[in-house]
Structure 1
Amino acid sequence: MRVVVAPDSFKGSVAADDAARALARGWLAHRPNDDVRLLPLADGGEGTVDAFAAALPDAERRTTVAPGPDGRPVDAAWLLLPDRTAVLELAQSSGLPLMATPDPLGAHTYGLGVVARAALDAGATRLVIGLGGSASTDGGTGALRALGLRLHDDQGRELPLGGAALAGLARLDTTDLVPAPPGAVQLLVDVTAPLTGAAGAAAVYGPQKGAGPAEIALLDGALRRFADLAGGDPDQPGAGAAGGTAYGLAALWGATITRGASTIAALVGLADALAGADVVLTGEGRFDETSLAGKVVGSLLKAADSAGTPVGVVAGQIGGPVPGSVSAAVSLVELAGSVEAALGEPARWLAEAGELLSRRLTGGQGDGSGRTAAGSREPS
């Protein structure tokens, strides 16, 4: 049997590559004779740089020290490709796991702008920026400020960083804003949310960043104020990605918003892999209705359905009904007995899940001695 193992990262717990290896190890424990291909994916969030690096071995990995979302320095990895395209990942510099404690009003994306500037200084002529896993709801103003944008209140004072400060925004000054690279800026997003409103950045994703109802209302109003002055299209699907960073970079830097999952899937050859597979395993930290709106698992389910390939899904937690396109699903929390246990040994429970799915998806039938497909790495 030919098996493709293509998970996203399990945010804050295990990288996509490590998750794929653990799932494959579990599958092969029950069916050691199957051909298993590892194809870790990303959608613009955690693992985007690694997914590009795996698919493009000529990419040069670099690291820039930048202010994290709470101001503490972090090491942010990015790639410089031979054609002078730089691949950046917001999660590396401004991601939620980088916060010591949640700060939904003050967290910012300044570090992303520092990394973007470093890429431009290194000679990048095109930027591909993965947007996902953001700690902030600042409309990307932190990143833009690192690139030279100035934001002032009605007294001419420069605003502090963070989304809440945008409520006092009176004037934008783009005089010193660094020009976008000549080859353009492509944003890889994992959501279809607009900037504001009931389905917007603050309302939908603010709670994940520690925002309560009053803070959500404040942040939503602050983003509206920013949009009133910045122009652009705050209602564009995906504008609300990464706390509105997609909107800010599109409105003031001319960036284009694209689906990250489909872009990366095309890069790594997912369609060809599915066409030759008997089954595919995928997964993410939490599977719920948002998984079906442009994220890795939702995009893979559509592709697998078109290819007629059965899908097994593994998630840290399953937060809603599992669609009929999923042949089998496993929750790591249920398997481990608690959130703490699942987070404490993610590789162990992913391997358990891989073995369990091998039984469910094959009717319990095992086979003989094992191997992995050509080009895959032996799980260890």
Structure 2
Amino acid sequence: MQEKNRLKQVAPILRHYAVEANFVEDFGRVQKIYSNKGIFALKKIKTNHGADFIRHVHNLYQKGYNRVVPIYPTADGRYAVLHDHHLYYLMPWLANELKEDRTQRYQQMFRELARMHTISVREVKITKEEREEHYENTLQQWEKEKEFLSGFIEQCEKRAYMSPTELLFCLYYHDITQAIKYAEDKLKAWYEKTKEEEKARTVLIHGKVSPEHFLFDERGYGYFLNFENAKLSSPLHDMLPFLSRSLKTYPKRSEEAVDWLYTYLKYFPYKADELLLFQSYFAYPGPVIRAAERYYQKKNSRGERKMLQYLQGQFWLLKNTEYVIMRIEETERQKQEAAAAAAAQAQAEQEGAQN
């Protein structure tokens, strides 16, 4: 009965593609369609997402980027079908049988992400006033959060008996404020470097980079899918959320995260100002501040023990991020020293040739 219902539900949608389903497997918002014309993936999205992402995908194809799971047109040329208050689109079903280990899989994903950014990059005009406004607003927001942290720790230290969460916050306070200072210093350095510039780079960002959204075909080629969050934005906005998600774990020194970042940067190097802004945003300890605010505002309905675990988890993210930041600093310093040594050697050789 359930199978008949699935076939009945997809039939009016597939009719637009002249496809007749024989069997349907349900994978949440994606359905695997076994049909008279092969195996397909039928994806359901909310109508408020619109179909802008389809335009972005086609723009990539027109620019020669074909590592995107293709979206099939209907018989009358449309790329999405409106049915029962949802949009549906049809794609080939990729087997995604892993022929590579985890390291190679991630490296291929970030090479392709860098290539997608390279193909779609363009400069946009940003006035000095817009840049200054962004800088001032960010610093103002961070200043408010520093004031909250200062007030919260004063309140904690006045108590005769702190709660476990308050005690843990006091132990974390120094590391949190150090991370804020680092982020502020990088933001100020970015602004000093760019305050006279009136252009910035944008790319087409995927919007939700994940190994789950990078599938492999039977030949071992990787393809991006799930472009519903794609938009033109700073290239930072693909790497930052991915790295933050990957570091939400127990305390660890993640050389993997460093490798992922530099695999990407090898093929799409950030400009000096972009790297400064990346370091600032990446280092800023927003999640642990949100956790402290939630506790202070008594939004800890999960209880003291759960809140304690939540705060600890966000602090582990801060420390994991701190390690990656330190490795970035070390790597960039080594690159600068190597460049300076090469320049000095070249100058010495030139002077020797003249003598």
**Smaller-chain TM-score bracket:** under 0.3
TM-score by length of 2: 0.23
Q: Which has the higher helix share?
A: 2
Q: Which has the higher strand share?
A: 1
Larger Rg: 2
